[in-house]
Every structure is written in structure tokens, then in C-alpha cells.
Amino acid sequence: MSDLDLLHFEQLKNEVQTQYLENHTPSSDDISKWKGIDIIYFQEDLRKIAKGNISEKSFYTYFKNSPVTKLPRIDMLNILSIYAGYVSWYDFKKSHLFADEVLKEHDELDDSEISELEKTVENSDHLPTNHITAVSNVDSAINTPNLAEEKPILQKSAAENQHNNKNNAAENLTSASKDKSSLSLVKKYLWLGISAVLAVLVGLLGFKEELFSKKFTYSFIDADRNSKINAELQVQILKEDESPIIYVAKPNEPFVYTTKSKTLKMVVSSPYYKTDTIQRNLDNAPEFENIELKPNDYAIMLFYYSKSLTDLKKKRVSLNYLISDSALIYQVFNNQFYGVETMDKQRYINLVTLPSTSLENLQVIDTQTDKDGKIAMIKFKIESDEKK
């Protein structure tokens, strides 16, 4: 990457800004000052023209800071170049050459040269193999007298004694072999017994939680509709003198909890259902139980209105009636540059009635109502679905 590439990218950012301002009127003509709904509109226009997308995090990284110190990835450079009216990033640079600038044909590739490795040859010393030659003493073998010929003839009694000694030695050898075999068999069974005991102990230690614990299954039901809750629930298990343990119950699936305790206290919460604290004595509690949760009607209506793209005029009227004129509305961002943005009632209604694919990822985090039954506070976020 060269300094000329960074200058080209600053040129590209200016042309992208000019292209967007031709058909849109954002809150500021300076692209570095865009945020919130301006970025959403820009992402929609980018998908429409260049058939691509950049994440909100990438926008803040490369458009909020000027000049930048590093280039984006080549796919993002190509998307922005197409949006500005060029074939590719290479085509854009080719159309904006500086004086004495030479553009390589494959400029998007890494220009670092690979240094050649020097080959070294190491000489190794080989030790000679020692050969040992056995020399037989031929003269000694020839001069050795034949002892068999000089051996005196043995008496008959000595031969019989020798035969009896051989039989006794064979019997002693057989008896010793039997004793050794019996001892080996005893050792074998002893080791098998010890191994079996150790295996049982390891099994008890590994599965003691399953052996001494009890499993409880809780299905959460919508109290008004008498059906399984099609939303993610947060379950907090409260224990005395301990911090809460947080679990997540998936939509339409029961929550399974295994414990050795005699009591259970859990807090179930969701943006679309009222928080409920459940306490049970597990000594006589059923293993399977249905628990009803009261829906948060206002949060469900906000969720429905943000997802529905039909009858936008009726939806705007309903939202205007539900939301208080002095409502506090927060949009939460998942990036390191911008955490929370506030907006007024009309701007929120304009956002959720915009026919945009970004609203498919809108999530209501929390709502509150005032004494008149109007929505006094809304906290929401829009998850980005771009894969890095």
C-alpha cells in the first residue's frame, strides 16, 4: 500500500458523497457527519446501485476519520467504486492518475517482494564401521584330545542313579512351573479387580451430578394466546449469597434445569413479556410444568409495526396514538464509535415505517408506559447482518 492509494481513497470518498447527494438530502452534506438513519439510507442506496453492502462499523472506521491511515479490503473498494460510476477500484485509480504515477496491472495484489532464501549445505562426518573378526584357534582344536574316547566306562549303578536324578529334576521343574502359573493367574485377577474398582470410582466422580441431581423442564406459555412463546427468554437463577446465573430459553423450546438444590427461584424476562419471578419447592415439585407469562402488549405492537410493510398510513396513525409526545426513544449501536442515539417521536415513526430491509433486524430491547397508558420510553437496536 502506498500513500498514493490513500489519496485515491480520499478522492473516492468525495465522489461517493457527491453521488449520494444527487438524489438524497441527508442531515449534513459532509459524509463524515452522517449517523443513524442517514447511514441506513446510504446502505440501502449502496445495495440498490452497487449490489453490495458495508457494515456500520466499516462506515465509522473509514468515513468518520479523515484522512485514513489504512485502506479497506479490495471488495469494499470495488463496491464503492461501482457506486461512484466506475467498473472497479483499478478503473477508478486509472481515471485519477497523479503526475508520474505508474499503475500496475494487478495493483490490488500485495507489492512486497519475497526475498530469496540462501541454501546451505552442511558436511557431516561419517564414522567408520568396526568389524570384529573372530579367529578360531585351529591348532588348539586339532590338538584337543578326544575325551569321549578316554572316559572310563561307568558302572550300572551310577547310570541308574543318574536316571533317577533326571526324573526328580523334571518333577521339581514341573511343580515350580505350576506354582509360577498359579501366582501369575492370581496377580492377573487381582489387577482386574483393582481396575474394576478404579473404573467404578471414576464413574461415580464423573457422573455424580447426574446421579444425585434432578432434572426439571419448564415450558413457557403466552397467557393470552395459550400457545408456546415464539421469542427468546432470559432466565436468571437466583441462589442465596451467589450472583445470578443467566440462561437463555430459545423460542418455542422448553427450559431444562438440573439441580441438587431443594428450592428454586428464577426470574424470567423478555422485551415482549412482563418479568415474572417463580419460586418452587423442589421436594414435591413436578418434573414437567407449564408457566404462563403475561405479554407486554405495547412492545409486541411496536415489534409488529416495525416488521409489517403493509398499510403504512394506518400504522403511522396507530404509532402516533400509542407513543407519548414526550417519549424518550433510544437507538443502541453495537460499535466502538457510537453507543446510543436519542430521537423524537416523529423521527422514530418515520424510521419504523420506512420500507427498508434493515428493519428485518430491528429488536425492541425495553419499553415503559406512563400513568395514561402511553409508551413513555422505547429502547431498540438494529442488528447488522453483514458477514465479515
**DSSP designation for 44:** H
Per the model's pLDDT, the better-predicted residue between 290 and 180 turns out to be: 290
Are 97 and 103 contacting, i.e. CB atoms less than 8 angstroms apart? Answer: yes
pLDDT score of 45: 93
Residues near 249 by Cβ (< 8 Å), separated by ≥ 6?
220, 232, 233, 234, 235, 255, 268
CA 281, 283, 284, 289 dihedral sign is positive
Q: Which of 61, 97, 66, 65 is nearest to 76 (CA)?
A: 61
Is-contact 31 16, C-beta < 8 A?
yes
pLDDT at 9 over 60: yes
Please tell me the distance from the alpha carbon of residue 295 to that of residue 235, in angstroms, as a whole number: 16
Residue 134 has a pLDDT of: 35
**Per-residue pLDDT for 292 more than 80?**
yes
List, for residues 336-359, the tens digit of each pLDDT value.
655 788 999 899 888 887 766 666
- Give 178's pLDDT tier (boundaries 50, 70, 90): low
At residue 308 the predicted structure's pLDDT band, cuts being 50, 70 and 90, is low
What's CA 373's distance to the chain center, in Å? 42
**Residue range(s) of every CATH 3.10.450 domain in the chain:** 297-382
In this predicted structure, the answer to whether residue 304 has a pLDDT above a threshold of 70 is: no
Position 316 confidence tier, pLDDT thresholds 50, 70, 90: confident
CATH of 212-293, one of 3.40.109.10, 3.40.50.970, 1.10.3720.10, 2.60.40.10: 2.60.40.10
Sheet holding 323-332, edge to edge: 340-343, 323-332, 375-382, 362-369
CATH 2.60.40.10 maps onto the chain at 212-293
- CATH level 2 (architecture), domain 297-382: Roll (3.10)
Which pLDDT score is estimated for 306? 62
Q: Is 340 helix (H, G, I), strand (E, B) or coil?
A: strand
Q: Is pLDDT above 80 for 11?
A: yes
Q: Is 62 within 8 Å of 68 (Cβ atoms)?
A: yes
What SS3 class is residue 224?
coil
Percent of the chain with pLDDT over 90: 24
Q: Look at residue 48 in the predicted model and tell me its pLDDT.
A: 93
What is d(CA 34, CA 41) in angstroms, rounded to the nearest whole number?
Answer: 10
Which grid cell is 374?
A: 402511553
| pLDDT exceeds cutoff 50 at 126 | no
Residue-wise pLDDT for 270-285, tens only, equals 877 888 999 898 888 8
Joined grid coordinates for residue 35: 449517523
pLDDT at residue 122 greater than cutoff 80: no
- When pLDDT is cut at 50, 70 and 90, the band that residue 20 belongs to is very high
Centre a 10 Å sphere on the Cβ of residue 185 and count the other Cβ atoms it contains. Answer: 10
pLDDT at residue 357, rounded to an integer: 66
Alpha-carbon distance of 180 to 177, in angstroms, equals 5
pLDDT of residue 105: 53
Residues 16, 80: contact at Cβ < 8 Å?
yes
pLDDT score of 168 more than 80: no
